[in-house]
A = this chain, B = another copy of it.
Amino acid sequence: MLRNVSDLLLRNGRPWSPGQPVGTADILIRDGRIEQIGAGLTAPGARAVDLEGALVLPGFVDTHCHLDKTLWGGPWVPNTGGRSLAGRIANGEGRRAELGIPDADYSAGLLETMVTGGTAYVRSHIDIDPSVGLAGVEAVRAAADRHRDRVDVELVAFPQGGLVSRPGVTDLLAAALADGVEVVGGIDPAGFDGDPAGQLDVIFGLAERFGAKIDIHLHDPGNLGAWEFDLIIERTRAAGLAGRVTISHAYAMGALPPAEQQRIAESSAEAGVAMVTCAVGDAPVVPLRVMHAAGATLALGNDGIRDLWTPYGDGDMLRRISTVAFRDRLLADEEIELALAAGTHGGAKVLGLTDYGLRPGARADLLTVQAPAPAAAVVGVPVRGLVVKGGRVVARDGRLVE
């Protein structure tokens, strides 16, 4: 048999799946998929790599970022956003032209960093408003195209500056969705947009019209946030959109009394509504143990990375997983692995991937790290040895493989 360049035999790895013990195994990859996982595999003609006991993780899923906003790789831009949400939105829109964003080069540079860190899938919110129009969609699509064999990018048409409160935005979202953007976004239907029923009417209406998924930014705190969770869950049930609706940030969830957290987690699980937490600054983190116990889907993301909103962020999903675990005070190994599961399989559920994970038949999207245990990898954030996407080695030791 002729050697197929896409065939890869990874020897002596320690593949991880959530809730499973880790043992040494070989992984045979053919035609971009995992064909077999087991001891002492042979595959004449395949390229063999000795992983020397490295831990093997499924490719990270960054379920929440803002590729269109980033200034990654550019000059240092001191933050001028101030502290109010409205002021930060105005700053974010007002300085775009001066800084030349959205910019495909910045977005592509950030995607490169994400890939070298082992991220295989990205969901990026894209600002849509009358001033920027769909320029963010174009820029990020151009950037994603440059890395099309290294990472899959899904877009959210995101009304960052308001939806029903801002004339023209509904039509722009519709135009983005008509143009193939996969997800319709929203933002604080009550606290920011001022008309929760109205905003959800528009979002769920667009989702139905275009067959789009839904992902709503929800920073509203306390009882207001909890009330909106219930509203979104109820709408999801009514629309039959189980598995296609995500609440991003869900700050209220991290600060509610335990019984209320549990009720909402169970309700989310039952209705098929996912949550995404990013552990940004001092904002409450969606409690991982509560979501896990309820069987609810929780995913993670880097949120803003070096943009007009925040000077922080590095695009590294393993570091974000570590930050979430640290913030949620996950201590025992099996607790820490919940954060790893959220940054991998949780994200895959949000994106609706059906062929994800380290198992025969799944797409060969994986990475390796030297770590004595999965929890140790989360805590130590070691450099990624190999990053494999679709069966191809795309990065090694923190650098792209051309």
Question: Footprint of B on A, CB under 8 Å?
Answer: 75-76, 78-83, 281-282, 285, 306, 310-312, 314, 322, 326-329, 331-333, 336, 372-373, 375-376, 379-380
Residues on the B chain within 8 Å of A336, using CB: 311
| B285 & A79 in contact (Cβ 8 Å cutoff) | no
Question: From DSSP, what is the main secondary structure of chain A's interface residues?
Answer: loop
- The chain B residue with its CB closest to the CB of A377 is B76
Instruction: Identify 9 residue pairs between A and B in the complex whose beta-carbon atoms are under 8 Å apart, listed by A's number.
Output: A75-B372, A76-B372, A76-B373, A78-B375, A79-B332, A82-B331, A281-B329, A282-B327, A312-B379
Residues on the B chain within 8 Å of A375, using CB: 76, 78, 311
What residues of chain B lie closer than 8 Å to A376, measured between beta carbons? 76, 311
In the bound complex, residues from chain B placing their C-beta under 8 Å from that of A285 are: 282
With a cutoff of 8 Å between Cβ atoms, the chain B residues found around residue A322 in the complex are: 312
Q: How far is the CA of A372 from the CA of B322 in the complex (A)?
A: 27
Q: In the complex, what residues of B have CB within 8 A of residue A81's CB?
A: 331
Expressed in whole angstroms, the minimum distance between the Cβ of A160 and any Cβ of chain B is 18
One of B76, B83, B281, B306 near A326 (C-beta < 8 A): B281
Q: How distant is the Cα of A312 from the Cα of B312 in the complex, in angstroms?
A: 20
Which residue from B281, B373, B380 sits with its C-beta under 8 Å from A78? Answer: B373
Besides the known contacts A281-B329, A282-B329, A312-B322, 4 further A-B residue pairs in the complex with CB atoms under 8 A apart: A79-B332, A281-B326, A282-B285, A306-B379
Most chain B beta-carbon contacts within 10 A, residue among A282, A306, A322: A282
Q: How far is the CB of A79 from chain B (nearest CB, A)?
A: 4
Q: Are B312 and A78 in contact (CB under 8 A)?
A: no
Q: Which residues of B contact A373 (CB under 8 A)?
A: 76, 78
Rounded to whole angstroms, the CA-CA distance of A336 and B76 in the bound complex is 14
Residues of B within 8 A of A333 (CB): 78-79
What are the residues of chain B within 8 A of A80 when measuring CB–CB?
Answer: 332
Bound-state Cα–Cα, A328 to B283, Å: 10
Residue contact A282 to B76, C-beta cutoff 8 Å: no
Distance, CA A79 to CA B311, complexed state (A) = 33
Closest 6 CB pairs of A and B: A76-B372, A281-B329, A78-B333, A79-B331, A76-B376, A76-B373
Whole-angstrom distance from the CB of A21 to the nearest CB of chain B? 13
A82 — which chain B residues lie within 8 A by C-beta?
331
B residues within 8 A CB of A282?
A: 285, 327-329
Q: In the bound complex, how far is the Cα of B81 from the Cα of A396, in angstroms?
A: 36
Name the contact of A310 in the complex, choosing from B83, B328, B331 (C-beta under 8 A). Answer: B331
The complex places the Cα of A375 from the Cα of B312 at a distance, in Å, of 10
With contacts A281-B326, A282-B327 taken as known, whether A332 is within 8 angstroms of B379 at the C-beta atoms is no
Provide the bound-state CA to CA distance between A76 and B281, in Å: 29
